[in-house]
Amino acid sequence: MKEIKDLKLKEMSKVLELAPEEIISEIKSSEKKMFELNMKLQVNELKQTHLLKALRRYIARLKTVAVNKWVNIC
């Protein structure tokens, strides 16, 4: 699982301690990584497709934390 660590995802215990602005910036940077991985997948450069699933779930968790903290992410 070294590849998933290369995505540099934060542990959920650390995410829960973040300020609302930091959560929003983490969501934006994760969505940018997701876009890059999707583009690599479309041109057949991505061999580790399991990273997409891990990153997608991480973004969903971040958004859930943001909603629970009453952060406007729209």
At 8-56, the pLDDT tens digits run 888 888 999 999 889 999 999 999 999 999 999 999 999 999 999 999 9
20: number of Cβ within 10 Å: 14
Mean pLDDT across the stretch 1-6? 67
Q: What is the DSSP letter of 11?
A: P
Tokens 């690599």 map to which residue? Answer: 40
Note the pTM of the prediction, 2 decimals.
0.86
pLDDT confidence of residue 74:
55
72: left (phi over 0), alpha (psi -120 to 50) or beta: beta
**Of 1 and 54, the one with more pLDDT:** 54
Give me 28's structure tokens.
């934006």
